[in-house]
Each structure stands twice: as structure tokens, then as C-alpha cells.
Amino acid sequence: MGKVYLVGAGPGDPELITVKGVRCIREADIILYDRLIHPKLLDYARSEAELLYCGKLPGFHTMKQETMNRFLVKHALAGKTVTRLKGGDPFVYGRGGEEAEALVRHGVDFEVVPGITAGIAAPAYAGIPVTHRAHASTFAFVTGHRKKGEEEELQWENLARGIDTLAIYMGVKNLPYIRERLLTHGKPPHTPVALIHWGTTHDQRTVTGTLEDLVDLARRHQVKNPTLILVGEVVAFREKLAWFEKRLDGEWEGARLEKVGV
């Protein structure tokens, strides 16, 4: 009997994976990895390890979830050490719970290795603290879309009135609906918002505005997935706490000057 490790690889920056996560990659016979995994993390794998890509794009699944579950079970029952490498945290919108259930049904031993999720990491790299003693004591992860065919279950009134900071995942496609729901249920139109694209990576780009202008903001800056939507007064801290993108700008400028011989 083998074993499966459900590993959170972190939000994008390869240095944000945990030490235990790296060990699971190094010891794996088989690695099933997602689209948002930084390629450098696969450098930790043994040369003889089998690497299986199972990433998903919006509207297109390279490998269906049921197939992934079968692969995990099949290889573990064959005595293999399997690492299921997921962006962020496996239990935060990573469908790790579904995979764990499948493993339990088939009597497969497994461990969950938590990872840093984009809901806290992307804002941090954008210079936005999701909580602040003077401004935000409550914080919630929110999914920006539901499983196809399911009725809306989100408690928008509670989210709009009772939570200081909202981190909304996978919501770019539904921005008009998200904006309308929050405004309808009492979130002030002037509430600051941030759209953080490819957070924690060298492609990170952050645009800010207000909830009222959210849809126009995304359209004007051509915001696409993967983007985290952050809603709350703490977004205002970005103006003085932004550090990562300033560093990237400095690196780009330094490289440009070096290229022209300055």
C-alpha cells in the first residue's frame, strides 16, 4: 500500500511552499500537478518520478476531477508514493476535500500538507493587510462562482454587512453579479476594491478602485484570470504599504539600464 500527500504549493512564488511540501515532492514516485504550480517546484522531483499534468482552464478541464481521484487511488494501491500538488492550499477551493473523501472510500492512507492560500498572500504582496486592528477585524474567503447547476447559496447580506474584508476567488467572470449583490445588500459604493492578477509572481499586477466602479475597472485594465478580488477598507493601505511591485519595477529598470550600458 502506498500513500497520497495532498500538498499546497502556495500562491505562485516558488519560495512560499512549505519545507514539508518540498519533501513530499522529493519523495514522490508520481506527482499530479495543477496549472498554477510554479514550474521551478518540479525541479525538486526525482529524475525517475512520473509527472502528470492535470491543470484546469476556465471552461476546459485537462483531467476531470473523477479521473484525478481514480489516479490517486490506483497508484497508491499499487504501492506508489503520490504527491497531489495544488496551487494555494488543498482545502481552500482546491477540491482537496473531494480527493480525501475518495481516498477514504478506498482505504488509502493520506496526509494533507497545508499551503499559503492566495486570499492572504496576494494581498500581502500587494501591500494590503487583510486584517488591521483599527480597520478590519473580520475576514472571509468567498467563491466567485458556484458549481454548474447549483442554486446560489452565498449569504450576501451577511457578507456585505457583517464582514470587513472579502477575498473573492474565481470571480472575474461574475464581477457584475458580485458588485450588484454587495451593493444591494448594503456594502457602501465607495468601499475600496483591489484586483490582484497573478499574485506573488513576477507577473503580478494590481489595480484599485471602488466597489461602484468595479466592473469598469476590470474592463478598463483588461483584468483576466487568475485574479483575486479584495473588497474592504484595508485596500486603502496599498498606497503606502505596496512593496512587491515597486521591487519588480526596480528590477526591470535596473535590467534596462544594464542593457544599455548605464
Kindly report, residue by residue over 36-49, the tens digit of the pLDDT. 899 999 999 999 99
| Terminal Cα-to-Cα distance of the chain (whole angstroms) | 61
Say which CATH class 119-245 falls into.
alpha beta
Q: Tell me whether residue 170 is one of the annotated catalytic residues.
A: yes
Q: Which of 20, 164, 170, 173 is catalytic?
A: 170
Render pLDDT for 66-105 as a digit per residue (tens, 0 to 9). Answer: 999 999 999 999 999 999 999 999 999 999 999 999 999 9
Q: Tell me whether residue 34 is one of the annotated catalytic residues.
A: yes
- Spell out the domain ranges in the chain: 3-116, 119-245
Tell me which amino acid residue 183 is.
L
Q: What is the mean pLDDT of the chain?
A: 91
pLDDT band at 256 (very low <50, low <70, confident <90, very high): very low
Q: Which of 3, 13, 29, 34 is catalytic?
A: 34
Q: Which of 56, 63, 164, 213 is catalytic?
A: 56
DSSP letters for 100-145: HHHHHHTT-EEEEE----HHHHHHHHTT--S-BTTTB--EEEEESS
Mean pLDDT of 147-156: 65
Say whether pTM exceeds 0.85.
yes
Across the beta sheet with 30-33, what order do the strands follow?
50-53, 30-33, 81-86, 3-8, 109-113
Determine whether 242 is exposed, middle or buried from the number of CB atoms within 10 Å of its CB (0-12, 13-18, 19+): middle
pLDDT at residue 246, as a whole number: 87
Beta strand pairing status for 109-113 and 3-8?
parallel
pLDDT at residue 64, as a whole number: 85
pLDDT of residue 240 exceeding 70, the answer is yes
Cα 50 to Cα 191: distance, rounded to the nearest angstrom: 48
Render pLDDT for 185-226 as a digit per residue (tens, 0 to 9). Answer: 999 999 999 999 999 999 999 999 999 999 999 999 999 999
pLDDT of residue 255 exceeding 60, the answer is no
pLDDT band at 150 (very low <50, low <70, confident <90, very high): low
CATH tag, 3-116: 3.40.1010.10
